[in-house]
Chain A
Amino acid sequence: EVQLVESGGGLVQPGGSLRLSCAASGFTFSDYYMDWVRQVPGKGLEWVGRIRNQAYIYTKEYDASVKGRFTISRDDSENSLYLQMNSLRTEDTAVYYCVRAGLTTKYALDVWGQGTTVTVSS
Chain B
Amino acid sequence: DIQLTQSPSFLSASVGDRVTVTCRASQGISSSLAWYQQKPGKAPKLLIYDASTLQTGVPSRFSGSESGTELTLTISSLQPEDFATYYCQQLYSYPLTFGGGTKVEIK
Contacts and interface: CB of A to CB of B under 8 A. Distances in A.
Contacts of B96: 35, 47, 50, 61
Interface string B63-107: 000000000000000000000000101010011111111000000
Contacts of B97: 47
Contacts of A61: 94-96
A50 B89 CA distance: 14
Interface in B1-38: 1, 32, 34, 36, 38
A69 B102 CA distance: 31
A44 B101 contact: yes
A77 interface: no
B55 A45 contact: no
Nearest to A35: B96
Contact of A45 (B45, B46, B53, B87): B87
B50 A106 contact: yes
Nearest to B93: A61
Contacts of A102: 46, 49
Contacts of A108: 34, 46, 49-50, 55, 89, 91
A110 interface: yes
A112 B22 CA distance: 24
A22 to B, nearest CB: 12
A85 B95 CA distance: 18
Contacts of A109: 34, 36, 44, 46, 89
